[in-house]
Amino acid sequence: MSHTVAPLKIGDIQIWPPLVLAPMSGVTNRTMRALYRPFGFGLTVTEFVSSNALAYGSRRTMEMIDQHGLEKPVSTQLWGDDPQTMAAAAKVVRECGADIVDINFGCPAPKVTKTNGGSACLRDVDRCEAIMKAVVDAVDCPVTMKMRLGWTQDDLVYVDVAKRAQRAGVQAVTLHARTAKQFYKGSADWEHITRLKQAIEIPVIGNGDLDDAQTAMARMRESGVDAIMIGRGALGNPWLVSQIRDLMEGRAVAPVPSAAERLGFCIVHYRTMVDELGEQRAVPQMRKHVALYLKGIAGAAHVRERIMRIDTAAQAIAVIEETIERVAGAAQVAA
């Protein structure tokens, strides 16, 4: 097999393929990560967790950093605005099995930024540096950091923060090429990612608008990044990850599965969530996942509407099975 890109090295950890699953709140729980990892992710990252919640021993937060033991390596992402609290949290997640501790300077969600966490930290680069130094000093594993370009377009601090990260001992940086104020509007500007790669010596992971395998590989080659991080583009479509891995390993891209096959995997996802979380928690969480698996399928809007009104797993799975029969029958007629 002829690899077309090099493995990602973070400290003494070698990662193949250099494909990272982005941390997404309420989405990348351990069930989803275990289901998606075999499609080709070399590294998975937990949902981002509050350092303050860990300090208080929150049961829900401890669940968020839990793993199956199937993810090696796995990174746990922390957010907060106090260096010592972040350092203490880093020690906890390291003891709980994190191979890498990741610092969140990227989340733009108001529930995080209203307490000066996530991307709000970019308004105070000295505080960013203090947090990074404290976390690096606290743990015996690699520390990485994810950020946005800056808080606003008028204050792009990403190169400054990345250079401070390198001096502090952070061993890789991920850049989502939007500002905090953009949220997910507009397009990610990969020219900034290219600029960052040229500015620092530690590995750079590029993130933003990677929803096509050929585009993802073009972005990687053009920017020179050491790895790419896939987030929203993989939701409901883990086969995108397989296609990117195909290209990284010098193979022809595997075809996209049929609509019926995609929905068949959706049922696997649904049943696994119910088995692990229980029906009461799994049903509302799976509504958004089912909607994503339905994307592009004829009649999807009507099916999504039905799923939103359903309160039991059995009913939801029955609707999905009914949809599988419908789209498979339509495909046979078309053939």
Q: Which of 107, 121, 128, 141 is catalytic?
A: 107
Beta strand segments in the chain, E: 8-10, 13-15, 19-21, 43-45, 49-50, 74-79, 100-105, 143-148, 172-176, 204-207, 227-230
Give yes or no: 96 in active site.
Answer: no
Strands 13-15 and 8-10: antiparallel
* Angle between helical axes of 190-199 and 158-168 (0-180°, round to 10): 40
Place of tokens 């583009």: 233
Task: Write out the two tokens for 238.
Answer: 């883990």
How many of the other CB atoms lie within 10 Å of CB of 167? 12
Distances (CA, A) of 72 to 25, 30, 247: 21, 13, 22
Q: Name, in order, each residue with C-beta under 8 angstroms of 177's C-beta and a sequence gap of 6 or more.
A: 148, 149, 188, 189, 190, 191, 192, 193, 206, 207, 208
Residue 252 — φ and ψ, nearest 5°? -70, 145
Task: Tell me 8's DSSP state.
Answer: E
- Length reported for the chain: 335
**Which of the residues are catalytic?**
107
